[in-house]
Amino acid sequence: MLKFLFKNKINVELSIKQYKLNLRSPFGTAHSVTTTRTNALIEIKVEDIRGFGECGLPPKKPLCYLADYNDIETYFKSWIKEIDEKQKLLSQQQQQQYHYDAFNRILNQDYFKELRKEMNEDDQQSVYQFLFECLDNCQENVKDYSYASRCAIEMALLDGWGKFLKQPIYKLINIPESDSLKPFYYTISMCPTMEEIMDSTDFGSKYTGYLKIKLDADVEKGMKIIDSIQKRLLNKSRPISKISVDANSSWTPTVARKYLEKLSPMADLISMVEQPFPIETLKTISPDQKIDIQHLNEWISIKKEYQDSGLLIFADESICTEKDLDGLVQLVHGVNVKLEKAGGIRSGLSTLLKAKEMGLKTWIGSMVASSLNVSAAAHLLCSLSDYGGDLDGGLLIDDVTQLFENDAFQLLDNGLIKMNSNNFGVGVTLK
C-alpha cells in the first residue's frame, strides 16, 4: 500500500490484495480444471473517489497466460516505486499545470478526447494523468506478466476517473453505443461429469440463449456434449440462439477436419469455432525454435475449408495485442480480445480497431472473474464487437465471493447486452 499527497494537496491511496473466487461448478478446458481462482484486486482512492480494477488469472500457460498473483504484486511494487520517485521530484517543482497524454498511442484523437487535456494541478484529474504516466514508465513493462498487471491498474484508474467525471467508461472513450445490441455468451466448460455439464447448461440458459461450449480433441465426446445440451434445452423450451465452439488450441488438423464433418450441417447455429489450432502454430517458446511451415500451411487450408462450409474460425489464445494480428490474418476470420492479454482497455481498443481495419471480425472475451472485470470489458463490447462476447465471469463464481453488484450492463431478449448509461466508471459498486 502507498499513501501520499499529490503536489502536497490531494490525498491518494493505492492498494493490492488477493481476490479469491469460488466457482459455481468446476471450470474445465482442454488443458485444466479449476474450482477456485485467485485474482488480483487493485484499489486506487483519490480523496473520496474509489476506483477498482481486477485481472483474471487462469493457470499459467506458455505463450498465453503469463501471470499469477505473485507476478501482479511484483509489478505493483515496481509501479509504487516509480510513483514514489516521481512524486518526490514533483513536490519540488512550482508548475501550475500538469499534463500527460496517456492515450497518445491511440492515433485517433477523438478517443479519450476529454482525458487528453492539460489539467490544473489542483484538479483531481491531474492525479490520474500522473498515475498513468508512472504506469507507462514502470520498469516492469518489459516483462511478459506486465500485461495482466497493467490491465488491473488501468481499470482502477479509469473506474475512478469515470466516477469523478460522472461518466461511464465507454463515454470517457468517446465511443457511441451501437444501434444493434450484442449477444452475451455463457460458457459451458468441460466439467468432469455430464451431470455437471447439464447443471451448468441449466444455470446459464436462464440468462441467455447464446452458449459457448468448450470441447477437446475427442470428437465423439464433443458431439455428444453438443447433442446433450441441445436436447436438454429443447425439453425445457429454452431455444439456443447461437453456439460458439471453443477448442482452446487443442485440435490437430485431422481433428479439425473430423469436427468439420459434424459441425457443417449445423453451420447456421454456430457463430464461430475458437482457436482450434495450437498456439505454437505462429509462436515459439524459445527464439531458437522455428515455425513448422508445413503445419502452418495445413491450418491455412483448414481456414478455407471451414469458410466454404459456412463456419468461421476465431483466434483466442494466439491473440494478445495488435502485434499478433498480421500473422493471424491467414489463419482466422476474427479475434477474441481479452483485456488481461492486451494489457488493458487502451491496448484492447487499439487491437480491436486494427483488427477491424484488417477486415477481421471482433469478439470480446473475459477471464473467470467478478462483475467488476467483465463490466470493464463490456465498455468495448457495446460498440466494437461484431459478435458480442462471453462476459459471463460474474456468473461463473458463487454469490459469496462476488464482491460487486449493479453491473455495467443488463441482459435483454434472451441474452442481448444493454449498457447502463447511469452507472459511472466501470459501472459496478462494492457490496
Quick check: helix, strand or coil at residue 237? coil
Whose CA is closest to 36, among 48, 15, 19, 51?
19
DSSP bridge partners of 2:
14
Known catalytic residue at 136? no
| Alpha carbons 126 and 129: distance in angstroms, whole number | 5
Cβ-contact 200, 232 below 8 angstroms:
no
| Alpha carbons 268 and 14: distance in angstroms, whole number | 49
| Alpha carbons 380 and 359: distance in angstroms, whole number | 18
Cell numbers describing residue 108 = 485517433
85-117 b/e (C-beta count within 10 Å ≥ 16 → b): eebeeeeeeeeeebebbbbeebeeeebbeebbe
Known catalytic residue at 390? yes
Q: Are strands 185-188 and 210-214 parallel, antiparallel or unpaired?
A: parallel
DSSP bridge partners of 44:
14, 51
Cell numbers describing residue 239 = 431455444
Cβ atoms within 10 Å of 405's Cβ, excluding its own: 13
| Alpha carbons 386 and 384: distance in angstroms, whole number | 7
Phi, psi dihedral angles at 177 (to 5 degrees): -65, 140
- Choose the catalytic residue: 159, 316, 324, 390: 390
Whose CA is closest to 315, among 367, 355, 375?
355
Quick check: helix, strand or coil at residue 269? coil
Secondary structure of 380-417 as H, E, C letters: HHHHHCCCCECCCHHHHECCCCCCEECCCEEEECCCEE
| Alpha carbons 414 and 409: distance in angstroms, whole number | 14
Cβ-in-10-Å burial (0-12, 13-18, 19+) of 193 comes to: exposed
297-329 b/e (C-beta count within 10 Å ≥ 16 → b): ebbeebbeebeeeebbbbbbbbbbbbebbebbe
- Choose the catalytic residue: 163, 214, 242, 303: 214
Which residues participate in catalysis according to the annotation? 214, 390
